[in-house]
């Protein structure tokens, strides 16, 4: 029987292959560009809690499978999706390092 991490990885691959966009990913430090497939949401709803209450904003996000990249993603890496360039402004890891949600800012 598969470990739950194997099952989660299969689900991540299925989502990537079903909802994929071509992403050219460049690591900020010492990395050549890599082409990967990843689900992309041009306007993901993000709710932030501040001292003044709740703020809702919509930001572009990609979900990446860490195994698809040669190095883990970090803030200030860049990517190109379609004709638009983005900078990674936040990285949220999920599921025991199986994948990561990358929050983007259009350049």
| C-alpha span between 11 and 6 (Å, rounded) | 9
Q: What is the pLDDT of residue 1?
A: 47
Name which residue leads in pLDDT, 75 or 98.
75
pTM for the whole structure:
0.81
Q: Please identify which residue in the block is written with the tokens 């259009």.
A: 106
CB-based burial of residue 29 (10 Å sphere; 0-12 exposed, 13-18 middle, 19+ buried)? exposed
Taken in order of first residue, the domains within the chain and their CATH numbers are 4-106 (2.40.10)
| C-alpha span between 16 and 21 (Å, rounded) | 8
Name which residue leads in pLDDT, 7 or 89.
89
| C-alpha span between 54 and 104 (Å, rounded) | 20
Q: What is the pLDDT of residue 47?
A: 87
Question: Across residues 81-100, what is the average pLDDT?
Answer: 84
Q: To the nearest whole number, what is the mean pLDDT of the chain?
A: 86
DSSP code of residue 69: S
* pLDDT digits 0-9 by tens, 28-72: 988 789 999 888 999 989 888 888 899 999 999 998 888 889 999
Q: What residues have CB less than 8 Å from 14, skipping those under 6 apart? A: none
């Amino acid at each position: 029987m598969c470990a739950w991490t194997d099952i989660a990885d299969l689900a991540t691959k299925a989502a990537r292959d079903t909802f994929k966009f071509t992403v050219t990913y460049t690591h900020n430090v010492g990395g050549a560009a890599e082409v990967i497939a990843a689900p992309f949401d041009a306007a993901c709803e993000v709710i932030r809690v501040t001292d003044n209450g709740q703020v809702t904003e919509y930001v572009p996000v990609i979900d990446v499978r860490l195994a698809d990249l040669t190095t883990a993603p970090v803030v200030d890496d860049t990517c190109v999706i379609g004709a638009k360039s983005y900078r990674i402004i936040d990285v949220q890891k999920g599921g025991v390092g199986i994948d990561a949600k990358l929050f983007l800012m259009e350049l």
